[in-house]
Structures are given as structure tokens and as C-alpha cells.
Amino acid sequence: MKGDLCEMHSNNVRKIQACSALTLAGLSLTAALAGAGPALAGGGPASALMPAVTAPGLGDEQYRPAVHFTPKQNWMNDPNGMVYYNGVYHLYYQHNPSGNTWGNMSWGHATSTDLMHWKEQPLAIPTDDQQDIFSGSVVVDKENTSGFGTAENPPMIAIFTSAYKDASPYKGLQAQSLAYSLDEGQTWTKYSANPVLNRNSANFRDPKVFWYDSPNGGGYWVMAAVEATEHKVLLYKSANLKDWSLLSEFGPANATGGLWECPDLFPLAVDGDPGNVKWVMVVNINPGGVAGGSAGQYFVGDFDGTTFTSETTKASDGLPAGTPLAGFNDGTYGGWTVSNEPGNRVNGPFGDAPAAGTLPGQNAVAGFASAGLINSFNDGDWPLGSMDSPAFTVTNDYLNFLVGGGQHPRVSDKLDNTPPPGDLLFSGFEVPDGSTMAEAGWTGTGDLAPNYQPATSGGDFYIGTKRINTFDTGAAPGDDRQGTMTSPSFTLSRNFMSMLVGGGHRDAASGQLLEVQLLVNGTVVRTAAGDDAGALNWKGWDVSEFAGQQARLRIVDQATGGWGHLTLDHVMLTDQAAVPRSDETTVNLVVDGKVVRTATGANSEVLDWASWNVSEFKGRQASIRVVDNNRFGWGHILADEFIASSHPATPRLETYDWLDYGRDYYASVSFGNMPQDQRVMLGWMNNWDYANAIPTSPWRSAMSLPRQVGLTQTAAGPRLVQKAVPQADKLATRISYAEKRARSITPGTHVLPSAAWGDVQRIDVTLAPGTAAKSGITVLGNGNSSTVIGYDKAAGKVYVDRRNSGNTSFHPLFASVDSAPVTPDASGNVTLRIYVDRSSVEVFAQNGLRTITDQVFPEQGANQVALFAEGGTAQLKSVTIKPMAESMFGAETTTTKRGRR
């Protein structure tokens, strides 16, 4: 799995340019965690901005997990090659050995004797000038079928995806390759005849290999790999791991809203009955997960050695009952008013009539009904526009509709880039041609010396032709350019400042500064930064408290690596606060001229049902407005079949089977060669929506807890159950707080005694919803913020609400409420086992029938635990809290080799 950072669905040139800054990611962060020092009124040396401070020790960094695996430093994503051999668990993983964002893909390596105490090993399989090393698996070739070892010393074989670079004769392709190890996984030799399986495809990847014992005797190796954009798992067989023949294909099926990646296929006995064995096909998907972005789905069925047959594939649904308002199936927009931006190559984004499906340059569109739909990909992502329905009277409780396309929520009423009324400072950087900001009175240091500015390239939505761009400075452009640049003084004559800001940002944990600063009397009083985006947008400050005082603007760029630059334009003094431009792709309900409901896509070309409760507007006039105000990645909207109904439509995604209902459990596959045929899975605890932006340093990303998985019979058929491996629970032995007698939880939030507090703990809680609409427990709290884990009685769902969990501002898609359908047991109880580890929660509901895994980044020192109820009284049946002993970094463990099995 590679983790596409630029959008997959279009060849639009403008979009490729918008992604360019991300392709520069992978450069090493250079500074340890440090605080910003006193501000300088002028352009002093950059080092003066950040005095040296003592960096936290390894394992003591803010957000560093105590019981989840993280590399000591640098980027990590998918678990790869997980295998057990001679008493040692091996975890290989996608790793950037050179930086803290995605890039330079290689296989990192860690080992453990208990799945919890991991020791990082030297880099296993590095990238080279020919190929990146993408995801795959490792097998123990016990019979030496490959011939790489001997009967006495059988080889371990890594089967991985070669992502071929420009220097390779296979340039642009993804194919499957081998490497072998004769020293129990410590060092690896690439097979000289790689690749061993090549389909001449750019999206063929993620091989998972296992030995299949034929019921007729003998056996062979089976590989499951994906054609990612075709939503297919391809099964191959081999006798020697080097020569492969196609067995069969599976898919498309169920969730197809993104790339299919990281497959797995394995048998499980239903409720432990060896006479009732089913096979489980795991398919990870990005985007298109049930909670948004990355996720893993699974199918239950049978495998006969050739073909996997699913018993859990869902049939296409029909339209929900109700009164159709618009369906776009007669070849017209049926009276809707269409506003297409003039001046584009074709009449985009909506054209003159509904689309029949997929448009030129677009990945396959699915999930719409009948003959037509709204599809604003006409002429690609670039054109902007809107559509308005005729007015109608709201007569039903719900408005159901299909929506897809880009995930760009509505943020304001402002759809253009016009500046607010006010006074423009610094002439908008539009200095005369041939002159620089030095002649305009600016001073600076390093690569930001004012004679390098203004720039005439970089960014989007600037005004005029010139702006400040710290990427385009110094001797050679790039994200590693550093320095400061300070304006001449000016008077703060209005209550607000507004400006266009783009480029990157840095959090405190990075040890770097990248921001625009307002200096009053030499002190930094306000700051602003970009959002890791090429588009500049309006930001600003309330400066009324400094009215009449002299001020300066300073641009500080101490950042390196991806998005290590800042763009700035059109700085103004204004009488009103800055209103950000809404770069939205949305469907909206308008009542009395105001947007009262809004929905956006999920970065998916597959439409799914959305539903608005509109009962409060019954009897009133309304209209539907579809807006495409985004020019770049996923800058389009899909919509179809607006139906007034008495009941909400169920999103199709919620009817499929998911490994986890949270935002942060992806690329999950199982260990091979496990003793007693155990099935243990492990996932990457992150989401491609925001993976490169999470505020951790010097590492980025953690793995989930290892999970034992099984099948149990349910009313719907056999379904997965999951629980943390017993070794995880051995870290939680001492009870710090317990309540065994039932009591009421009255409305409100009730902080438990300090004995219950902690940031690394296992919590077991059983509650009955009673009359409460919502009830549950909060963790990692401090009175101002917390992570909320509860049960929504009306929805019948367990949920994790991290909208006020601490640091959520690093990415607009991070704050979320993630939920899983859960039915109370026969006694009316909901039972949760919760693992809390500094920057994550893993929730196992009803003995593991549902799980929710989410990252959180709490405020420093937040460790309070509380019970809550809303809208009535719930019953606490029991709660037990156990601190968990640290297994990572606190006491480095050495892997002891045990005797061969």
C-alpha cells in the first residue's frame, strides 16, 4: 500500500500542481521540541527566536504511546510482513528512514517475544534508485520450496510490492517481488529475477501470502493482492513462491468508494467449532471508510482453494419510500437554475444537462440511481459554479438524497476571493517591476532577505501578480529555505487585520516556527499560518486592543520538509473580522435565504445516502442549492435522487461489515505462522485524511494493539469478534478504582475520584441507558476538554466524540464523532472495554462485536475520568479501572531467541 497523497480520480493538470508540495515531503525535521523565545522587533538571527531547551527523553515526548508500537523517529504506516518464527514476533512496516512524513518507502523492522514489548531493529529492506518497497508479507518457507535456503535452515521469504521509479525499466509499474533471509529476518537479499509477478499495472499491490493445505492432500502457496482502482482481490497459486498462476478474482463488492488495499484471507472456526469453518476476506479501503477516509472491511464466506465466495456481499438497494423532488432522469435539470463559471474550456462544472454517469478523466462513478445525476466534474475539478432547485414546501420529516464527490465542507457564506473593505498595507506587495521588498523598507535574514521578495510564483487565490512566498527564496527554491522577514512599522488604525495566507504550518511539537507574526512593542501578539495547502485563504486578527499603536509584521520560516513554506498576500486593516472563503463542494438546504442544512462528499466517486431531519421547517418554503467552489483535489460534487420521506435513509456504508468503526484502524492484516493457529491482527493507527499532519515528533504514527480475532454466530450470520491479545491485559494487573454496585448517573458530567484518573489505562464499564438519551464515560479530561465515549440510545450506537479532545486544529477533517451500531444485551446493558494510551482510545463493545479506534491529542496533563448522562438518568452497573504498565521505551527489551519449533 502506498498511501496516495494526491487525489487518484483525475488527471487534471491543475490538481497535480496543487499536490506538488506534498511530493516534497520526506525531509528530516531538524529541531528538537523547543519553545518560542521572546520576539524581536527587527529581523534578528533566526536562532534567537528559539533558545535551546531540554528535549524530552525517548518515550517521554508528549503524545508518545506507552503500550503501542511507534518507531523511535520518523514516519511509519502499514504493518508489513508480520510473522512468528522461533519464539519471536516480527513486525515489518512501511517506513521513511529519512523524515517524518510519507516518502522513501522502505521496510522498518521490530521484534518482540510477547507482542507488547517491541525492540526496533535495523532497517530491513531499504528503498533504492530503482524502486520503493511497498507493502507485503513474510512467510516461513519450512520445506524450502523456493530453494533460497536449506532443509536445515529454511528461509524466510518477504513478498512485497516493487513501486518502480523512473530509473527502472519497469518505470511507473507496481509488481510483486521477493527477498529472502537466512538469519531469521535480520538481513534480506533481493531475488535477482524480480519481479516474480507483473501485470503491467500501476496499481497492483499489497501481496498477502499463505500456505493452503488441500483437502485432497498436498498444498501450495496462495497470494492475495489487489488491483486497487478496479476494486478487485486477485488470488494466485505457486509451488515455489517464484512462479505464479491466476486462481480467481473477487470484487468489486460492498464498499468501493476508494482504493482497495492490503487484502488478507484466512479461515476461522465459528465459535471454536472445527466442524464449522468459514473464511474471512479482509479488504482495506481508502478513502470510503464508514467513518470517513481509511478503514478496513471484511467478508465472510468460503474458499475452496481456487475461489473465495462471499456470503455477506450486499445487493444494490432501491430508493427509500417517499415523494421524489428531483431525480434528473429525463435528460434535463427539471427547472433548476444552473450557474456555470464562464471562460472555461467547456461549460463546467455542471454543463447544460445531467451527467449519465462518469465524465471524461474521472474514475468510475457509482451508486447513483437510474439515468442521470448532478456531476460537477464537467471539465475536471477546475470550474466553479452552483445549482438551485425550484422552491418547494417542506411536508415531511426527512429529506433523503445521494451525495458523493469531494469532502470540502461549507465554512462561510463567502464564495469569492474579493478583499473586505479597508486599507491595503504594503501595496499588496505589488512593488514596481525590477524592485524588491528591500526597497519597500523590509528587512530580513537568511533565505528571506527582502531582496529575494516578492515572488511571482506559487500558491493559488493570490491577488495581483506578486506575493510573499518563502518557498521561492534564496539561492535555490524549496521547503528547506529558512529565515525571517520584517516589515516597516505601520499604525493599527482599524479594529481588525485581514490577509491571505497559504502554505504550511507547524505545531509546537515540531520544534519549528512557520508563521506570520504581528509585533507590537517588539512582542509577538498575534500569529497565523497556512493549512498545508497551496490555496491562500482569508485569515486575520482582532487588534482593537492595540488601536493607535505602531506595529510590524514578521514572517518566520524555520521549517523544513513537506509544506515547509508560507505564502502571504493582501494584508489589510479592516473594520470587520476576516471571513474565510468557503472552498466547498456541498449540497445545502436553504430556508428564508439562509443555509440551514449542509452535506459534503467523502472524497469518493461512489454516492451514498445522506439524510436531513427537516421537521422544524414543515410548512415553509425551501430550496436545494448545490455548490462547487473548489478548484483542486476532489473539487467536485455528485448528487442524485432528492426524496421527501417520513424516515431517514440508511447510508449503504453502515450496512457493510467493518473491522473497526473509528477513524484510525487501517491496513490491518494478520500474523503468519502463528502457534496453535491463532489469528492475531494489527492495524496502522492513522488515517490518510490527516496522516501527515498529526502533531507528533520525532515520530509519526503508531500501530494498534494486537487483536485476537474470531467468528461468532449472530442473527445476521457469522461475524468477527475482536479482543486485545492476553499479553496486553497482563500489563493491567492492579485495580486503581472500582465500583461494583449499581448506581444512577444523573444528568451532567461527574468527575470520578483521582484514583480513577490516568492516561495509560484499561477501563471496563457496564451501563444501562435508562432514560438518558446519551450516557457514558469521558477520558483524558481536564475540565476544559476530554474524549467522550458513550451510548446514543435513539441511534442505537456506541460513539467516540473527539471534537473537544484537545488539539484538533492541525487538520480540518480530524475533529469527528465516530459511531458503531450496538444492541444492548438481554439485560439492557452496554459493556465497553476501553484502552487509553496517551494519544489514542480503542473501544471494544459487547465483547468485541464492535470496535472503535481513534487517535486523540489531549491537552498537557489531561487525565481525568468522568461519567455522564444527557437528557435523563442512566445506570452505572460497574466500572473497573486498571493502570497499564509501560511496554515501550520505559524499559528496552531484548529479544531472546528460543528453540526452534
Q: Give the amino acid at 540.
A: G
What are the CB-based long-range contacts (under 8 Å, 24+) for 795-800?
795/819, 796/821, 796/822, 796/823, 797/821, 797/822, 798/822, 798/830, 798/832, 798/843, 798/845, 798/850, 798/852, 799/852, 800/662, 800/841, 800/843, 800/852, 800/854
User: Which residue's C-alpha cell is 488495499?
Assistant: 261
C-alpha count within 13 angstroms, C-beta hemisphere, residue 330: 5
Rounded CA-CA distance 700/694 in Å is: 7
Query: Does the annotation mark 592 as catalytic?
Result: no
Interatomic CA distance for residues 391 and 17, integer angstroms: 40
| 121/186 Cα distance (integer angstroms) | 8
Residue 761 bridge partners (DSSP): 836, 883
How far is the C-alpha of 737 from the C-alpha of 154, rounded, in Å?
Answer: 50
Report the distance separating Cα 733 and Cα 752, nearest Å: 20
State how far the Cα of 661 lies from the Cα of 718, in Å rounded to an integer.
18
Question: Do β-strands 604-613 and 385-388 pair in parallel, antiparallel, or remain unpaired?
Answer: unpaired
Contact between 236 and 259 (Cβ < 8 Å): no
SS3 653: helix
Residues 6+ apart with CB under 8 A from 450: 436, 437, 438, 440, 442, 443, 444, 485
Q: How far is CA 68 from CA 63, 78, 667, 698, 885, in A?
A: 11, 14, 16, 16, 12
| Torsion 470-473-477-479 (CA) sign | negative
Residue 711 vs residues 331, 357, 671, 675, 723: alpha-carbon distances, Å: 48, 39, 17, 18, 12
Phi and psi of 16, rounded to 5°?
A: -60, -40
Q: Residue 527 contacts by C-beta under 8 Å, 6 or more apart in sequence?
A: 515, 516, 517, 518
DSSP state of 557: E
In sequence order, what DSSP letters do the residues of 759-800 get, joined into one string? SEEEEEEEEE-TT-SEEEEEEEE-SS--EEEEEETTTTEEEE
Q: Determine the Cα–Cα distance for residues 669 and 294; give it in Å rounded to an integer.
A: 14
CA distances from 628 to 37, 217, 332, 531, 790 (A): 43, 60, 19, 20, 36
- AA identity, residue 881: I
User: Whole-angstrom Cα distance, residue 847 to residue 273?
Assistant: 19
User: Which residues contact residue 488 at a Cβ distance below 8 angstroms, ignoring those fewer than 6 apart?
Assistant: 440, 441, 442, 552
Give me the catalytic one of 4, 78, 114, 557: 78
Sequence-ordered list of residues with C-beta below 8 angstroms from that of 868, at least 6 positions apart, any chain: 745, 748, 749, 750, 774, 775, 776, 777, 778, 788, 790
Give CA–CA dist 708/640, Å, rounded.
Answer: 41
Q: What is the distance, to the nearest Å, from the Cα of residue 278 to the centroid of all Cα atoms in its chain?
A: 31
All residues at 6 or more sequence positions from 346 whose CB lies less than 8 Å from its CB, including other chains:
378, 379
Q: Which amino acid is at 140?
A: V
SS3 call for 509: helix
Residues with a catalytic annotation lie at 78
